[in-house]
Amino acid sequence: MWLILLLSGFIGCGFGQSRIGFLDYVRPLSIRREEDPNGALGKLPVLDFLGLVTRHGYPAEQHQVITTDGYRLRLHRVPGSPRSPPGLGKPVIFIHHGILASSDAWILAGPDRDLVYILADAGYDVWLANARGNTYSRSHVHLSPDHDPEFWKFSIHEIALYDASRAIDFILERTSQQSLIITAHSMGTTVTMILLSSRPEYNAKIRLAIFMGGVGSWKHPRNFIKLIKENGQLVQSVIRALQITEFLPQTEATGELLNATCRDGSPFQHLCTSLTQFFVGYDPDLLDTKLLAKAYSYLPAGVSAQTLTHNYQNIKAGKLQLYDHGPVGNIEHYGQNTPPLYNLENIVIPVVLIYGNGDTIASPEDSLDLANRLRYARAEIVPHDGFNHFDFLWAKDVKRLLQDRIMQLIESAEKYGSFSVL
């Protein structure tokens, strides 16, 4: 899958100030309803977020917000369900995706398994993030993502300080709520920690954080992360040499390649599933091959090369730190030769960190280490041997193993107070 992802990544990567020939950014044909025409020959039609949700009879909304530095973000909302119609005063849940993902990742399995639908059925007002640069937030008031390299000059830091903060403020204002609960996966957990440590006033706006596969410590890397830690400098050299600004956007070519490789009946499916599990952890018992192929029509959803670099820097350092601009740049930005660490002591809300013992992105050891470094946190293992990084989203038995427990935590926090979950 690493070779597949690299190939598909370069089919659409942003180079310098423009795109070159066959590398043009061609998105899949996005449709709202399944009965819509499929369009031109060769197009890979995919339902957009609103189409994916409304096909199941759930209401869905799309909202645009603009950050203080000009990025246009799309927030998605599921304000109710057939069992719990939309209404004022519902508790708000904000869900943040991981790296190379979008809000679509949370709604691909359907109402019986996806956390979004389960929350909506239980009476919650569910909002979903889309970080700058992904499929839904690839826009700016002045800059073109295809022609202005400046568009892509952002890392996890900017996603946290500008995107997440703007989204939270908009959601609270729109719903007339004082605070919300955040659930996040993978890099979404990193974004949450950076926001709360850098802008402590947001602790008053988030009353509970539930992390799935939390990423903030890299002392015990496994498989893919270990490979990145030891060899990531080579990838960084390629990114610099080719002046890559955008990496792995959602494109027609990427979707067709991954879907054809991973779908049921493909002679390459075993290669797809084996290499996927090398990246995220080996768990064949919970692997839904049909859903995995569907997911690869929506993922990867794009990321800036600088965000990848920031992730690599953290993995290499083994700790959560600000972006490393090099000695000269660090003095200019921070007044010191090395990037400072994020102050996790500033996070004063309760955090439940749920981890899987088969996760190779957020290893059990690093999950426990992260929980120990947060002031009010508790780590909790998913009760399945081999539970991996993708299982948080798409495991066959994800409702019983994970979603039911998340619902218990949220309901306890709502009934007895947020700190009751610790």
Dihedral of alpha carbons 176, 182, 184, 187, sign: positive
Spell 401-418 as b/e; 16+ CB within 10 A means b.
bbbebbbebbeebbeeeb
Contact partners, residue 162, CB within 8 Å, separation at least 6:
67, 68, 69, 71, 132
Residue 18 DSSP class: B
Options 81, 137, 155, 186, the catalytic residue: 186
Which residue carries 């909002």 as its tokens? 127
Options 104, 125, 283, 359, the catalytic residue: 359
Backbone angles phi, psi at 286, to 5 degrees: -105, 0
Options 384, 389, 391, 418, the catalytic residue: 389
Q: What is the DSSP string of 312-332?
A: HHHHHHTS-B----HHHHHHH
Token pair of 161 as six digits: 């300080």
Ramachandran quadrant class, 29 (left: phi over 0; alpha: psi -120 to 50; beta: rest): beta
Active site residue 186: yes
The CA-based dihedral angle spanning residues 129, 376, 224, 98, taken in that order and rounded to the nearest 10 degrees? 0
124 to each of 54, 87, 249, 400, how far by Cα in Å?
17, 10, 31, 19
**Most distant CA pair in the chain, distance:** 59
Active site residues: 186, 359, 389
